[in-house]
């Protein structure tokens, strides 16, 4: 019997993200990246927020960063949205090169893919989908922005916001975020479509493409069905709740059509996008609580956002329902399909660990900072969900509440953003020491006599 050390792709994956964060922080620390300089912690925070497509800011992206600095942030957002393994795999596929088994394992881990089949082709498809969708989004944004800015400036803003929206980053080149366009219907609708498209995941997009466009399949996969159904329900519940509860409060100044649009938009953005067309600090406490729940759930597996993911949340609810009504046996059954018991238990474990980690972070930051509890809790959920929404800074109204925290508090949020990006279970498996396992060569009889 031989001993073989198990390859731990999650460690390599996380090391890759940390390396890119450090490179990004170094670039943002250069004099040509900012107008008034930036501290090391703030540079790391901004780099992490961009790569993890979060959108929490401790420096005003619009005024504190130069054109070069904004380009670095945009590049980090694009790398984070696609995933650096997706980019490298797409590049090798474009050149007609093959990738090793370890690289296949890394790519599969990074996008939560279920099999090793056609991984390189799938990576190239992700790259093409991203390019096409972001290009269309930039064109649509341009026609809205050009009414207010000169064509070159409008084009730069359009490209930045298209990438930021599709990657669910929430970064904006406007100090007021998208509140500058709160009277327009076009900007929030374009952003919503991009956010939803990026958030549902490339697996669902690819699935839908092969059914609606190529007509090579007749039915969506179970994963796609669960994601689309859960996304629709969350958006419907969020839109109706915000419309009826905030309609005569924070949305009172808007016309009926704009109330509907803002309600829909603010139901979309907590699902890891982080844009806002109105000041969410003006929301009621119950609405803020709903946003926290949405931020915790997040986007979908294989997408550009974070959180525990819609499929995880949905599977846990299905499992709990079967347990409650005594229908649970060995596997979870939904939509005439069976889901392995192990996945149901993993969903419960993931949600439990994530919630525990959030409250540990909340406790630790309170040790270092005399913070406002509701604002801080909202900020931590936003960091973990890689959302970027914030109840606002006291020091700088254009920044997130993280701006008011000490360096220690910011470092804890950096850890939460990275955890939200790679996943709680992924981080856990990376921290666990890889074990050796026994293996033996296959047995094969021979003819004797």
Q: What residues contact residue 244 under an 8 Å CB cut-off, 6+ apart?
A: none
Average pLDDT, the chain: 84
Q: Cα-flanking dihedrals φ and ψ of residue 437, to 5°?
A: -130, 155
**Could you tell me the two tokens for 299?**
């986007």
What is the distance, to the nearest Å, from the Cα of residue 284 to the centroid of all Cα atoms in its chain?
25
pLDDT at 334 over 90: no
| Beta pairing class for 337-339 and 332-334 | antiparallel
pLDDT confidence of residue 128:
82
pLDDT confidence of residue 1:
46
How big is the CA angle at 410 (ends 408 and 411), to the nearest 5 degrees? 65
| Beta pairing class for 332-334 and 436-439 | unpaired
Q: How confident is the model at residue 108 (pLDDT cuts 50, 70, 90)?
A: low
Mean of pLDDT values over 75-104: 66
3-state secondary structure of 38: coil
The total number of residues shown for the chain amounts to: 449
Cα end-to-end distance, the chain, whole Å? 29
Q: What residues contact residue 20 under an 8 Å CB cut-off, 6+ apart?
A: 51, 76, 79, 84
Q: How far is CA 73 from each of CA 96, 163, 174, rounded to the nearest angstrom? A: 30, 11, 14
**Could you tell me the two tokens for 394?**
């006291």
Task: Pick from 37-46, 190-199, 430-439 the range whose average pLDDT is largest.
Answer: 37-46
Ordered by start, the domain boundaries in the chain are 7-434
Report pLDDT digits (tens) over 278-302: 999 999 999 999 999 999 998 887 7
User: What distance in Å separates the CA atoms of residue 272 and residue 274, rounded to the nearest whole number?
Assistant: 6
User: Is-contact 32 62, C-beta < 8 A?
Assistant: no
Mean of pLDDT values over 372-378: 94
Count of helices and strands (H, E) across the chain: 18, 4
User: What distance in Å separates the CA atoms of residue 178 and residue 9, rounded to the nearest whole number?
Assistant: 38
Mean of pLDDT values over 352-379: 94
pLDDT confidence of residue 101:
55
pLDDT confidence of residue 129:
84
Mean of pLDDT values over 245-263: 92
**Could you tell me the two tokens for 41?**
């912690």
Tell me the H-state helices in 181-284: 186-200, 202-212, 222-246, 256-268
User: Is-contact 413 56, C-beta < 8 A?
Assistant: yes
What is the sign, positive or negative, of the torsion defined by CA atoms of 430, 434, 438, 441?
positive
**Which stretch of 108-122, 254-268, 406-420 has the lowest confidence by average pLDDT?**
108-122
Q: How confident is the model at residue 105 (pLDDT cuts 50, 70, 90)?
A: low
Tally the C-alpha atoms within 13 A of residue 234's C-alpha that lie toward its C-beta: 32
Q: Give percent of the chain above pLDDT 90.
A: 50
Q: How confident is the model at residue 130 (pLDDT cuts 50, 70, 90)?
A: confident
Report pLDDT digits (tens) over 31-89: 999 999 999 999 999 999 999 999 999 999 999 999 999 999 999 999 988 875 565 55
Q: What is the DSSP letter of 34?
A: B
Other Cβ atoms within 10 Å of 93 Cβ, number: 19
User: What distance in Å separates the CA atoms of residue 302 and residue 198, rounded to the nearest whole number?
Assistant: 9
Q: How far is CA 53 from each of CA 132, 169, 242, rounded to the nearest angstrom? A: 19, 4, 25
Quick one: which H or E segment has residue 439?
strand 436-439
User: What distance in Å separates the CA atoms of residue 157 and residue 177, rounded to the nearest whole number?
Assistant: 12
- 225 closest CA partner among 204, 243, 245, 244: 204
3-state secondary structure of 388: coil
Q: How confident is the model at residue 439 (pLDDT cuts 50, 70, 90)?
A: very low
Q: For residue 302, is it left (φ>0), alpha (ψ between -120 and 50) or beta? A: left
pLDDT at 409 over 90: yes
Q: How far is CA 69 from each of CA 90, 151, 165, rounded to the nearest angstrom? A: 26, 21, 19
Quick one: which H or E segment has residue 351?
helix 341-368
Mean of pLDDT values over 316-325: 82
| Beta pairing class for 337-339 and 436-439 | unpaired
pTM of the model: 0.87
């Amino acid at each position: 019997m031989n001993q073989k050390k198990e390859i731990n792709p999650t460690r390599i994956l996380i090391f890759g993200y940390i390396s890119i964060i450090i490179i990004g922080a170094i670039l943002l620390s250069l004099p040509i990246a900012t107008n008034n300089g930036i501290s090391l912690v703030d540079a790391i925070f901004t780099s992490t927020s961009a790569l993890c497509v979060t959108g929490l800011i401790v420096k005003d992206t619009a005024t504190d960063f130069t054109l070069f600095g904004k380009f670095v942030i945009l590049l980090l957002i694009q790398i984070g949205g696609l995933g650096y393994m997706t980019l490298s795999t797409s590049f090798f596929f474009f050149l007609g090169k093959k990738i090793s088994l370890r690289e296949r394992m890394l790519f599969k881990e990074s996008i939560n893919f279920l099999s090793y089949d056609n991984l390189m082709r799938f990576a190239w498809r992700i790259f093409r989908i991203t390019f096409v969708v972001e290009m269309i989004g930039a064109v649509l944004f341009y026609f809205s922005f050009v009414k207010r800015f000169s064509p070159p400036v409008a084009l730069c803003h359009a490209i930045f916001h298209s990438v930021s929206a599709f990657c669910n980053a929430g970064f904006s080149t406007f100090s007021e975020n998208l509140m500058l366009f709160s009277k327009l219907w076009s900007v929030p609708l374009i952003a919503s479509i991009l956010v939803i498209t990026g958030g549902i995941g490339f697996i669902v997009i690819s699935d839908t493409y092969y059914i609606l466009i190529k007509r090579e399949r007749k039915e969506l996969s179970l994963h796609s069905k669960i994601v689309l159904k859960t996304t629709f329900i969350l958006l419907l519940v969020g839109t109706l709740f915000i419309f009826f509860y905030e309609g005569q409060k924070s949305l009172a100044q808007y016309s009926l059509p704009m109330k509907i649009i803002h309600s829909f938009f603010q139901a979309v953005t907590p699902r890891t996008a982080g844009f806002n067309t109105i000041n969410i600090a003006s929301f009621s406490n119950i609405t803020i609580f709903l946003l926290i729940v949405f931020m915790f759930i997040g986007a979908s597996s294989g997408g550009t956002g974070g959180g525990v993911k819609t499929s995880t949340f949905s599977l846990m609810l299905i499992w709990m329902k079967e347990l409650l009504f005594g229908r649970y046996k060995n596997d979870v059954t939904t939509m005439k399909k069976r889901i392995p018991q192990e996945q149901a238990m993993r969903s419960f474990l993931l949600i439990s660990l994530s919630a525990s980690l959030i409250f540990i972070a909340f406790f630790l930051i309170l040790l270092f900072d005399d913070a406002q509890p509701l604002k801080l809790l909202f900020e931590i959920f936003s960091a973990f969900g890689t959302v970027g929404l914030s109840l606002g800074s006291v020091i700088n109204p254009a920044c997130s509440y993280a701006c008011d925290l000490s360096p220690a508090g910011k470092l804890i949020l950096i850890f939460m953003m990275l955890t939200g990006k790679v996943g709680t279970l992924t981080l856990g498996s990376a921290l666990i020491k890889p074990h050796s396992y026994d293996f033996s060569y296959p047995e094969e009889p021979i003819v004797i006599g």
